[in-house]
Structure 1
Amino acid sequence: MLVRECMTYDLVTIEPEARLSDALNMMRARNVHRLPVVEDNLLIGIVSEKDLLYALPSVDRPISWVEASAQAAALPVRQVMQQDVVTVCPDCPIEMAAATMADHNVDALPVVSSPESHALVGIITETDIFKLFVEMLGSRAPGVRASLEIDNRKGALASLFNRIVEAGGLVTTVSSFPAASPKRIRIILKVADVDQDTMRSLLKLEETVIDLREIQGAR
């Protein structure tokens, strides 16, 4: 899956000369926590709710709330926005976008049309990634959920799949994760059309069960 398949196209943006108070009101009205800053249709920065709240005068400073409100109304977004923005392109694989978020400790990536361009076309957030994660693990689908540790060798997973198919089962989702030993790998399967006892009977001795249960599915 690529970024363009799950990014948000209906963007809420703000101009650099807008006031901080306007930016904060916009975030609250649209229920977003960050705003790409756009000038002449090009991305020049991003401002988060945290940036705004940190920049606004607080009650423990030696000024009145009237003065604080006046300062918030006068201060432009340009002065507090983050200019060094980490971006991603629409054709980037979704797992690379997720890795970029993790590596840079950010919760959203503005999407630009190409690596050389600053033309903003969308945004992808950690919420988008989380929703995709839910679907990838088949969380909403009924079936047997099997968390297993198997040999990390050619044919090991295919052998397991063949046994499931021969028993009349259908593997609807599969995910893999590193195990403690590089010679092993941990997998999570969602299997339809077999029950828990049948699934357990299909496993070989070297296929270690971490967890095995029947899931009714979530709405």
Structure 2
Amino acid sequence: MEMETKVTVHDAMTSNVVTVDHKLSIADAALLMTRMKVGSLIVKTKAGPEGVITESDIIRKVVSKNIAASDITIGQVMTKNLINIDPGSELNEAARLMAKNNIRRLPVVKDGSLVGILTSSDVMAVSPELTEILVVNARIQENQVGFPTDERPFPGACELCGNFMEYLDEIDGKFVCEECKEDLEGD
């Protein structure tokens, strides 16, 4: 009999989270994201995580409105009332929570303290079988936002070769890596 091991949030999360103060300007936040090669920053106070600012927040709430990034603070555009998860929770529970709430990043909190961050990329890298939960959600979310799904690449396991990639494109209803996309289009 095979013993099933449960993969926890702790197994997949990134523990070195980049945190910032809510008074930081959006310009400085964008510079920090670029320098640290991250897509989000957690806004933290002594009490714990209080918000998150993502690349898409900056584009949707600042750049698209032609607001000078140096004139606005993270606190003015961050997402508050964070949904978070315990590091001991099962990974499939985290994937469902992300899908249900249309989020791609979950702060990991233990006893009120931020201990890590779990992204949809982390989930898919550790448990490719959970990709379907996130892929279906991404398709729904992108259609709701009004972007054609073929214009919004996102991370996951290629549905043809199975390799995990940072960017997948949708071709004929399948999410595929660049190499498989070229093979399909080359036919």
Task: Name the TM-score, length of structure 2 as normaliser.
Answer: 0.61
Matched, 1:20 2:14: no
Fraction of identical pairs, as percent: 29
C-alpha RMSD of the superposition: 2.2
* TM-score normalised according to structure 1 size: 0.53
For the 8 Å contact 1:41–1:120, the answer to whether it is kept is no
Number of residues paired by the alignment? 125
Structure 2 residues not aligned, in runs of 5+: 1-6, 132-187
Give the number of the structure whose residues are more often helix, by fraction.
2
In structure 2, do the counterparts of structure 1 residues 95 and 136 end up closer, same or farther at CA, with 3 Å as the change threshold? closer
Task: Indicate yes or no: 2:84 matched with 1:81.
Answer: no
The alignment partner of 1:121 has SS state of strand
Q: 2:50 is paired with a residue of what secondary structure?
A: strand
SS at match of 1:102: helix
Q: Which runs of 4+ in 1 moved over 6 A?
A: none
Q: Which runs of 5+ in 1 are unaligned?
A: 62-67, 138-219
Q: Distance in 1 between matches of 2:80 and 2:114?
A: 14
Question: In terms of Rg, which structure is larger?
Answer: 1
Q: Deviations over 1:36-85 (max 9, x none)?
A: 10112611111111111223255x86xxxxxx5xx321211000001121
Does the 8 Å CA contact 2:124/2:130 hold for their aligned counterparts? no
Query: Matched residues in 1 for 2:15 and 2:72: separation?
Result: 29
Q: Is the 8 A contact 1:8 1:124 kept in 2?
A: yes
Give the whole-Å Cα distance in 2 for the aligned partners of 1:111 and 1:48: 16
CA gap of 1:130–1:40, structure 2 versus 1, over 3 A, is: same
Partner of 1:55: 61
Which whole-Å CA distance do the structure 2 matches of 1:21 and 1:112 have between them? 28
Contact 2:92 2:130 in 1 (8 A): no
